[in-house]
Structure 1
């Protein structure tokens, strides 16, 4: 074989070897579990929700929306709260109708994957169970901490309800079983008979008043993304510096989405230091859907609880 033929053959073999190496590398990249196939900045911790219910077949599954980690609990992983069951846990109640115009009780149970009533719950913001009720037009907000009987039956004492369709939410963390440590929110609807008069949702704003206090919200929220939010509390034009701890923090913020009543729970990051909170409270907020959200900020001063409500527009 001539020198020229040998040189040509070596170059051909080298090229073939390079092609094989390149092909293997590309195949490895294509099969990598860490492949960055999503848009950067959109992954805020993914714990997909399996929540679904035939009663909510018209609603999409928003439980996969990423959330925030507050004190070790991923509150975004709780889903949108529109299902009565999730991860084998179910909110059950025989109540389908509640009386209008007078205080009433709502009884319910949480059953686990084994079908039995759950009786072991972990503390979440100092309580074993957080219970919410709100009408379909996002009026009549109530946040309660019901009591549990030995058989796992919870009783929530509701203030007088206006006629209409209401949704009740149970927010809890199982302290045993397959769901131990999971932050869950389940809900059901209940009817209050009578002539229901719908109240239009107030226009979007960044401030609200309650009991002489003014609450200002500064944020630029985008649906499905975690963004900073600052809530400032003032009174008579002066900053408030005497916020008292309420449920282990200086404020409790709950949000409901207009139209489907999707649920979101936001926690302030501001460190609690006695009865001297405020005037500014920092949040890392994530609301999973665009549109209007009705926010309810609860805070305490002088031993009295205040609730400020405002409508926030999320793009």
Structure 2
């Protein structure tokens, strides 16, 4: 998994390869509330219907907040390092501490994965979405692709299976630095259309901060509707968004995929918690290939 929660926004997917502007996906083995549905599922009718308000696609309570805190509800994100090398792949190790101070080792699956991990640069480029592996002692290892010099923020999205927050979605984050000469990339202007890997995605709908809004995303290729979207993390799309200026996080949880194929239209019921520009990253799969499209959306 336009529109955790378009927040909190809410759709998470797995790793796709990072690109300098977040427009192309790379596969790493990737506030308010939003729910998405996909129409045109082959042989099964469409996937209309919405998840229960305040819950994600897996039935968990949706994540609250904007994802900018390192600690929430007694759960804390701890990084092994606050500085990472640039230009080449790097492994970032981290743990989650529970309210009792011990490392948390029990997690509930969220869109088929116990942990979704994201990285974004301060200028909202370099998007990466990963599904790291956890060791028996509760240490997670995220295999990040090469990072450009500058300021970054990494996010852990998970559902505890132990402690007072059991079953509630959380998004925690911390800043990291990549040394070197940093040059920011200007945020692309707000637009209703973007392209990736030959696919065109068109967004209809104008979000207003703090108000539930329906956004429709239509996927086409060579001028024809795309109806062969494949299930990815049990959905037909995965969506995350970051707010320009403070990197607030929004994760959209879509309707579970039904059937072998979907498209061309994806509907998101989004609630953006604050006005301004949001950089959206929509991940979808066709022919066994994961694609990551990005565009800027402005909330009034």
> Normalised by the size of structure 1, how large is the TM-score?
0.77
Question: CA separation in 2, counterparts of 1:73 and 1:116?
Answer: 23
Contact 2:33 2:270 in 1 (8 A): no
**What is the Cα-based RMSD across aligned positions, in Å?**
1.4
Question: After the TM superposition, which segments of 4 or more aligned residues of structure 1 sit over 6 Å from their partners?
Answer: none
Question: CA separation in 1, counterparts of 2:136 and 2:113?
Answer: 17
Give the one of 35, 60, 69 matched to 1:73. Answer: 60
Of 255-264 and 278-287, the range deviating more from structure 2: 278-287
What residue in structure 2 maps to residue 170 of structure 1?
156
What residue in structure 1 maps to residue 146 of structure 2?
160
Question: CA separation in 2, counterparts of 1:73 and 1:188?
Answer: 24
Work out which of the two has the higher radius of gyration on C-alpha atoms and give 1 or 2: 1
Question: CA separation in 2, counterparts of 1:122 and 1:74?
Answer: 12
SS of 1:173's partner is: strand
Question: CA separation in 1, counterparts of 2:184 and 2:85?
Answer: 18
Question: CA separation in 2, counterparts of 1:93 and 1:267?
Answer: 26
CA deviations 1:152-196 (Å, max 9, x no partner) are 000000000000000000000001111100100000001000000
Question: CA separation in 1, counterparts of 2:247 and 2:269?
Answer: 21
Higher helix proportion: 1
Give the one of 233, 237, 243 matched to 1:247. Answer: 233
What residue in structure 2 maps to residue 266 of structure 1?
252
Question: CA separation in 2, counterparts of 1:296 and 1:74?
Answer: 22
Equivalent residues in 2 for 1:209-228 (5 A)? 209-228=195-214
Q: 2:131 aligned with 1:142, yes or no?
A: no
CA deviations 1:209-253 (Å, max 9, x no partner) are 000000111112110111111111100000000000001100000
Give the one of 264, 269, 273 matched to 1:284. Answer: 269
Q: 2:77 aligned with 1:91, yes or no?
A: yes
Q: Structure 1: state its 5+ residue gaps.
A: 1-46, 48-62
Shift of 1:66: 6.3
The count of corresponding residues between Structure 1 and Structure 2 is 251
What residue in structure 1 maps to residue 280 of structure 2?
295
What residue in structure 2 maps to residue 37 of structure 1?
none
Q: Structure 2: state its 5+ residue gaps.
A: 1-7, 9-30, 35-53
